[in-house]
Structure 1
Amino acid sequence: MRRLNFILIFIAILMIVLLARIYFLSIKSNTYYEELSKQNYIKRVYIAPSRGIIEDRNGIPLAINNLGFSITIKPHLRSYKNKDKLLEIIDFITKHFPEYDKDELLKKYKRLDSAYKHDYVQLIDYIAYDDFFSKFTLFNSIEDIKVEPAVKRYYPYHNIASHVIGYVGKSSKKDIEENELSKYSGIVGKNGLEKYYNKKLQGELGYKDVKVNALNKELEILEEKKPKEDNTLKTTIDIELQKYIQDNFNHKSGAVIVMNAQNGELLAAASFPEYDNNIFVGGITQKEWDAMRNSFDHPFTNKLVNGLYPPGSVHKMGVALALLENGIQPDYTVYCNGELQIGNRKFRCWKTTGHGTVNFRKALRESCDDFFYKASLKVGISKIANTLEKYGFGQETGVDQINEFIGVNPSKEWKKERYNQPWYIGETVITSIGQGYTLVTPMQVARYTAFLATGKLPKPHFYKDNYEEPVEIPTKPRYLRIIRNGMYDVANEELGTASKHIKSKIKIAAKTGTAQVISIPQSEKKRMKESELEYYHRSHAWLNTYGPFDDPQYVVVALVEHGGHGGSAAGPMVTKIYNKLHELGYIKK
Structure 2
Amino acid sequence: MKIRILLTFFIIVWIGLLVRVFHLSVQSNDYYENLSENNSIKTELSAPVRGEILDRTSEPIAINELGFKIALAPHLTKGKDTTLLDKEIAYLLSMIPTLDAKKIAKTYKQHDSYYNHTFIDVVDFIPHETVIPLYSLMNLRDTIKISPSPKRLYPYGAVASHVIGYVAKANQKEIDADPSLQLLGHVGKNGIEKYYNRYLQGVAGERRIKVNAHNVEIEEIGRSATQENHNLVLNIDMRLQNFITEAFGNRVGTIIVMDTHGAIYAAGSYPEYDLNTFVSGISSKEWNRLMNSVDAPFTNKIINGLYPPGSTIKTGMGLIYVTSGMLHENSTVKCSGSMKLGNRAFRCWKGTGHGTTEISKAITQSCDDYFYKGALQVGIERMSTGLIRMGLGKKTGIDLPNEFIGTVPSRAWKREKYNKPWYQGETLNTSIGQGDFLVTPMQMAQYTALMATGKLPIPHVAKSIGNNPYTPNALDVLTPSEKSKLPIIQRAMRGVCNDPGGTARGFVSTRFPIAGKTGTAQTTGIAQGTKQRQSEHSMDYFSRSHAWFTTYGPAENPQFIVTVLVEHGGHGGEATGGMVSSIYNKLDDLGYIQK
- Shared fold (TM-score, shorter chain, > 0.5): yes
Q: Give the TM-score normalised by the residue count of structure 2.
A: 0.93
In 2, the alpha carbon distance for the partners of 1:318 and 1:34 equals: 70
Distance in structure 1 (CA, Å) of the matches to 2:17 and 2:528: 100
Find 1:573's aligned residue among 574, 579, 583. Answer: 579
C-alpha deviation, 1:92, in angstroms:
2.7
1:382-411 per-residue CA deviation (whole Å, 9 max, x = no partner) reads 111111111111111011111111101001
Letter in 1 for 2:559: Q
Residue aligning to 2:408: 409
Aligned residue in 2 for 1:309? 307
Aligned pairs for 1:447-526 within 5 A = 447-464=446-463, 466-472=470-476, 473-476=478-481, 477-526=483-532
Aligned residue identity for 1:275: Y
Give the counterpart of 1:550 among 553, 556, 560: 556
> 1:53 matched to which residue of 2?
52
> In 1, distance between residues paired with 2:330 and 2:23?
93
Give the Å deviation of 1:283. Answer: 0.4
Aligned-pair RMSD on alpha carbons?
2.3
2:284 counterpart residue number: 286
Structure-1-length-normalised TM-score: 0.94
Q: Give distance in 2, aligned partners of 1:242 and 1:347.
A: 41
User: In the alignment, does 2:324 pair up with 1:320?
Assistant: no
Q: Report the Cα offset of residue 212 of structure 1.
A: 2.1
Counterpart code for 1:102: A
The alignment status of 1:255 with 2:260, answered yes or no, reads no
Measured after TM superposition, the shift of residue 324 of structure 1 is: 1.0
Paired with 2:14 and 2:430, the residues of 1 have a C-alpha distance of 90
**Cα contact 2:205–2:224 (8 A) shared by 1:** yes
Q: Percent identity?
A: 48
- Structure 1 residues 21 and 517: CA distance shift in structure 2, 3 A: closer
Which whole-Å CA distance do the structure 2 matches of 1:150 and 1:559 have between them? 41
Residue 500 of structure 1, CA deviation: 1.1
Q: 2:433 is paired with a residue of what secondary structure? A: coil
User: Unpaired segments of 5 or more residues in structure 1?
Assistant: 1-10
Change (3 A) 1:80 1:332: closer
Partner of 2:164 in structure 1?
165
Structure 2 residue 593 is matched with structure 1 residue 587: yes
Matches within 5 A, 1:25-424: 31-79=30-78, 83-229=82-228, 231-261=230-260, 263-326=261-324, 327-424=326-423
Kindly indicate whether the alpha-carbon contact (under 8 Å) linking 1:50 and 1:229 is maintained by their aligned counterparts in 2: yes
Per the TM alignment, residue 220 of structure 1 is displaced from its structure 2 partner at its CA by 2.4
Aligned positions, number: 579
| Counterpart secondary structure, 1:307 | coil
**Which residue of the partner structure matches residue 532 of structure 1?**
538
Q: Distance in 2 between matches of 1:258 and 1:33?
A: 63
Matched-pair contact (CA < 8 Å) for 2:258–2:264? yes
For residues 454 and 277 of structure 2, the distance between their equivalents in structure 1, rounded to whole angstroms, comes to 43
**Is residue 252–residue 297 contact of structure 1 (8 Å, CA) maintained in 2?**
no
Amino acid at match of 1:542: W
Q: Is the 8 A contact 2:453 2:558 kept in 1?
A: yes
SS, match of residue 381 in structure 2: helix
SS of corresponding position for 2:525:
coil
Amino acid at match of 1:319: M
**Structure 2, unpaired ranges of 5+:** 1-10, 464-468
Tell me by how many angstroms 1:49 deviates.
1.2
How far is the alpha carbon of 1:143 from its aligned partner? 2.8
Aligned to 1:7: none
For 1:303, what is the secondary structure of its paired residue? coil
- 2:265 partner letter: L
CA distance in 2, matches of 1:68, 1:79: 32
Q: Which residue of 1 aligns with 2:4?
A: none
Question: How far apart are the structure 2 equivalents of 1:382 and 1:296?
Answer: 37
Hey, what's the Cα distance between the residues in 2 that align with 1:22 and 1:548?
86
| Deviation of the 1:129 alpha carbon | 1.0
The 2-side partners of 1:94 and 1:450 are apart by 60
CA contact (8 A) 2:52 2:229 kept: no
SS of aligned partner of 2:192: helix
Counterpart-to-counterpart distance in 1, 2:529 and 2:13: 105
- 2:74–2:117 CA contact under 8 A, matched in 1: yes
- Given residue 488 of structure 1, which amino acid in structure 2 is its aligned partner? R
Partner residue, 1:8: none
Residue 189 of structure 1 deviates from its aligned partner by 1.1
Shift of 1:24: 6.2
CA contact (8 A) 2:77 2:83 kept: no
Q: Is the Cα–Cα contact under 8 Å of residues 67 and 148 in structure 2 kept in the other structure?
A: yes
Distance 1:343 1:92, change over 3 A: same
Secondary structure of the 1:207 match is strand
For 2:447 and 2:302, locate their aligned partners in 1 and report how far apart those are by CA, in whole Å.
14
Partner SS, residue 395 of structure 1: coil
Whole-angstrom CA distance in 1 between matches of 2:21 and 2:421? 83
Task: Answer yes or no: is the 8 Å Cα contact 1:455–1:475 preserved in 2.
Answer: no
